[in-house]
Structure 1
Amino acid sequence: MTIERLQPGKRMSQAVRHNGVVYLAGQVAKDYNGTIEQQTREVLDAIDTLLAEAGTDKSRVLTCQVILNNIADFAAMNTVYDAWIDPANPPARACIEARLAHPALKVEIIAVAALD
């Protein structure tokens, strides 16, 4: 079985395809100054781009792990997430509060999707 790394870097790949599944690295906003809604939108756009590069889309997402630096942002993040997700194919999801790599980051999302 082949393992294909998409956008590999020195430390990590942005996505890895293997055995009919694509595993995405945690995605964060590039604009650290955005609101939770703006950062969530940017993260989901990055996920859409990676899924397309891997040959799949959000209707094939199996699971999402949402990490918020402040759980008080849960409802605001969900307004953007709920508008993005394919309502006919919602993935399994977890949401936790944790400190992110930079204090201005408000959300990080990790996704796994089927390819076939």
Structure 2
Amino acid sequence: MTIRRIGVGKRLSEAVVHGDRVYLAGQVAEDASQPIRGQAEQILGQIDALLAEAGTDKSKLLFVQIWLADMNDFAAFNEVWDAWIDPANPPARACVQSPLVKPEWKAEVQVTAAI
């Protein structure tokens, strides 16, 4: 089975396709000056773009891991999530509170999807 890497950098690839799955690196907002809603929209848009480049979309999400720097942002994040997710095909999901690498980051999202 071949491995295809997308967005290869010095430390990581933004996505790795292996067999019938794509694994995305944790996605964070590029403009971290935004509040949680703005950061969530950016992150989910980045996920859409990477999934498309891998040949799939959010209807094929298998598992999503969400890290929030502050659980007080949980409801606002979920408002953006609920407007984005394919309601007919919700993935398994986990959400935890954790400090993130940069203090201005409010969320990080990592996904695995089928191709």
Question: What are the residue-to-residue correspondences of 1:75-90 with 2, within 5 Å?
Answer: 75-90=75-90
1:82: Cα distance to partner? 0.6
Amino acid at match of 2:75: A
CA RMSD between the two structures: 0.4
Unaligned runs of 5+ in 1: none
1:48-88 Cα shifts (integer Å, max 9, x gaps): 00000000000000011010000110000000001000000
Question: What are the residue-to-residue correspondences of 1:1-116 with 2, within 5 Å?
Answer: 1-115=1-115
Unaligned runs of 5+ in 2: none
Give the share of equivalent positions with the same residue, in percent: 56
Amino acid at match of 1:12: L
Amino acid at match of 2:60: R
Instruction: Figure out how many residues of one structure are paired with residues of the other and give that number.
Output: 115
1:1-35 Cα shifts (integer Å, max 9, x gaps): 10111111110000000010000000000111101
Structure 1 runs (4+) greater than 2 angstroms displaced: none
**Following the alignment from structure 1 to structure 2, what is the Cα–Cα distance between the partners of residues 55 and 3?**
14
